[in-house]
Amino acid sequence: MTMKKKITWKSLMPSCYKSKDSSDSGENRLKLKPCQFQRLSLSDVSDPSSPICVNGLSTSLFGSNLYVFTLAELRLITHNFARCNLLGEGGFGPVYKGFVDDKLRPGLKAQPVAVKTLDLDGLQGHREWLAEIIFLGQLRHPHLVKLIGYCYEDENRLLVYEYMPRGSLENQLFRRYSATLPWSTRMKIALGAAKGLAFLHEADKPVIYRDFKSSNILLDSDYNCKLSDFGLAKDGPEGGETHVTTRVMGTQGYAAPEYIMTGHLTTMSDVYSFGVVLLELLTGKRSMDNTRPSREQSLVEWARPLLRDPKRLDRVIDPRLEGQYSNKGAQKVAALAYKCLSHYPKPRPTMGDVVMVLESVQGFEDEFVGPFVYVVPNEADDSNEFLAKKGENEHDSPVRGWRNRIKLPPSSVANAESPCSI
Ligand SMILES: Nc1ncnc2c1ncn2[C@@H]1O[C@H](COP(=O)(O)OP(=O)(O)OP(=O)(O)O)[C@@H](O)[C@H]1O
Ligand SMILES: [Mg+2]
């Protein structure tokens, strides 16, 4: 039932393409020229009166250069979703490593991929799957993970992404028995993630990411980072509105206070979540951890007051860095995190401002303040093997991000969107 060919914008929106010259004949008639078109939003697809309906997704060739795979094909490339290919598991469902090449589709680049499968008994479902396709199918940026294709067969929903060899920032930052991420790498990751968010916020039709957290930042072998997981993303306010009103969804410890209180979502909610991740990078501590003393369980509540005072900053900085960080850089980044974490949205910087500050601290190598101690990396460090991570996560903290999801019933938020809007 699924299509086996590459889908293109041309086939999706033929009216956006016109021939160069109506008098053209023969081969010239086939030369099509795209005209300007706006990115489709989730509501365009969910609106029952829309010609682009969800049911037609597999037949109306929706998306841009996305491949539509069959379940049998994805079984094949993951060795029947073998446990040894399991990369991790989140709220959507398990993620497996696979390999694709042009034997699967002509022109398909030979590459490893990550195949995310919907857990049919889980909390997420068709809506998150569709949001991922709508947003990642149309938005392309060096700091957004590349969606290669998807599968839609009976109740099965799968997504196929480029494979990111170092897994998530969460795994890299909080693993106990391995070399810690150096300061310069942390700053590189912060900058890349900030650029990804700035791109979303500054788009013609802005996007609010809504689930910015360390487990959604993926890393390639050179620690270039890419944002993944657009299941909760929302189109920004339109027509002069200041915010969109939604059900409160996201992850505890990362969501902005005003969003939790009112359900009013703006790009500034993402800036707050960015501040939380910046704090995780500075401290090496998880945003929420109920194994810490009660005063310190919420990272923001504990650390934010310390960020303003350069004399107390060393209490905040990750001790695993063993003093190997730039003092000037740390002060700048702490001040930036402090602003991003403002209780009210107005004083927070835009992501464009954040990018500028983080650009300015790259390569800061001023007086590293402690002795240099080389920690021999563990060979297992580079592996993206789930079993090791799973054991460690359970050991490190009983709370995994997706189990900490915030999902309030619609009645608890005034004018909240319907949970079944799609
Ligand atoms: N493209 C990818 N390349 C390599 N590993 C990936 C990729 N996508 C996901 N993973 C791995 O799978 C794990 C689970 O990812 P997923 O996004 O489903 O859940 P999560 O981010 O941990 O939780 P949540 O559902 O709350 O977002 C990630 O932590 C990562 O280790
Ligand atoms: Mg995720």
Give the domain CATH number at 333.
1.10.510.10
Residue 410 lies inside a defined structural domain of this protein = no
Q: How many domains does the chain have?
A: 2
Probe residue for ligand 1, chosen from 86, 168, 213, 387 as the CB with the greatest number of ligand atoms within 8 Å: 168
Residue where a domain stops, chosen among 162, 187, 212 = 162
Residue 378 lies in a domain: no
Task: Report whether residue 87 contacts ligand 1, using a CB cutoff of 6 Å.
Answer: yes
- The CA angle 289-166-331, to the nearest 5 degrees, is 55
| Pair (222, 150) in one structural domain | no
User: 209 and 156, same structural domain?
Assistant: no
Task: Based on the fold, state whether residues 251 and 337 are members of the same structural domain.
Answer: yes
Residues with CB under 5 A from ligand 2 (ion): 90, 216, 229
Note whether residue 333 is domain-resident.
yes
SS3 readout for 205-218: CCEECCCCCHHHEE
Contact predicate 166/185, CB 8 Å: no
C-alpha 411 to ligand 1 mean position (Å): 30
At 80, is the secondary structure helix, strand, or coil? coil
In a domain, 289, yes or no: yes
Phi, psi of 329 (to 5 degrees): -60, -45
Single pTM value for the model: 0.80
Q: Under a CB-based contact definition with an 8 Å cutoff, are residues 346 and 385 in contact?
A: no
CA distance readout (Å), 279 to 171, 213, 276, 298, 326? 16, 11, 5, 11, 16
244 lines ligand 1 (CB under 6 A): no
Tell me, yes or no, whether 178 and 54 share the same domain. Answer: no
Domain check: are 224 and 92 in the same one? Answer: no
Supply the residue whose CA is at minimum distance from atom 31 of ligand 1.
167
Residue 173 contacts residue 185 (beta carbons within 8 Å) = no
Residue 110, amino acid = A
Q: Are 85 and 91 in contact (CB under 8 A)?
A: no
Same domain, 129 and 175: no
Answer yes or no: is the C-beta of 90 below 6 A from any ligand 1 atom.
yes
pLDDT at position 301 is 96
**Distance spanning both ends of the chain, measured CA to CA:** 22
Residue at which a domain ends, from 347, 368, 389: 368
Q: Which residue has the tokens 């998306």?
A: 63
Domain range enclosing 45: 15-162
Domain presence at residue 117: yes
CA atoms of 370 and 304, how far apart (whole Å): 24
* Distance from residue 361's CA to the centre of ligand 2 (Å): 28
- From the CA of 90, the nearest ligand is 1
Query: Atom 22, ligand 1: which residue's CA is nearest?
Result: 90
Angstrom distance (rounded) from CA 128 to CA 256? 21
Instruction: Answer whether 283 contacts ligand 1 (Cβ < 6 A).
Output: no
Mention every residue, 6+ apart, whose C-beta is less than 8 A from residue 280: 173, 214, 286, 287, 299
Residue 391 lies in a domain: no
What is the whole-number distance in angstroms between the Cα of residue 172 and the centre of ligand 2?
A: 14
Residue 215, domain member (yes or no)? yes
CA separation for the pair 318, 324 (Å, rounded): 10
Q: Is 366 a catalytic residue?
A: no
User: What is the rounded distance in angstroms from the CA atom of residue 104 to the CA atom of residue 76?
Assistant: 10
Does any ligand 1 atom lie closer than 6 A to the CB of residue 401?
yes
User: Which residue in 101, 211, 229, 366 is the catalytic one?
Assistant: 211
| Whether residues 158 and 204 fall in one domain | no
Q: Exposed, middle or buried by CB within 10 Å (0-12, 13-18, 19+), for 395?
A: exposed
Cα 244 to chain center, whole Å?
20
In whole angstroms, give the CA distance from residue 361 to residue 332.
8
* Nearest atom within ligand 1 for CA of residue 162: 1
How far apart are alpha carbons 47 and 409 in whole angstroms?
Answer: 23
Instruction: Say how far apart CA 306 and CA 310 lie, in whole Å.
Output: 8
Residue 23: the pLDDT is 35
Distances (CA, A) of 182 to 217, 320, 323, 324: 17, 9, 10, 8
DSSP 225: E
Residue 182, both tokens? 């150096």
- Does any domain span residue 141? yes
Block means of pLDDT (10 residues each) for the chain, length 422 residues? Answer: 36 35 33 49 66 49 75 97 95 96 94 95 86 92 96 94 97 88 97 98 94 97 96 84 78 93 94 98 96 92 93 93 93 97 97 98 70 50 42 37 50 38 29
Regarding whether 125 and 174 lie in a shared domain, the answer is no
Of all residues in the chain, what percent are helix, strand and coil, respectively (each to 5)?
40, 15, 45
Shared domain check, 196 and 174: yes
**193/333 same-domain check:** yes
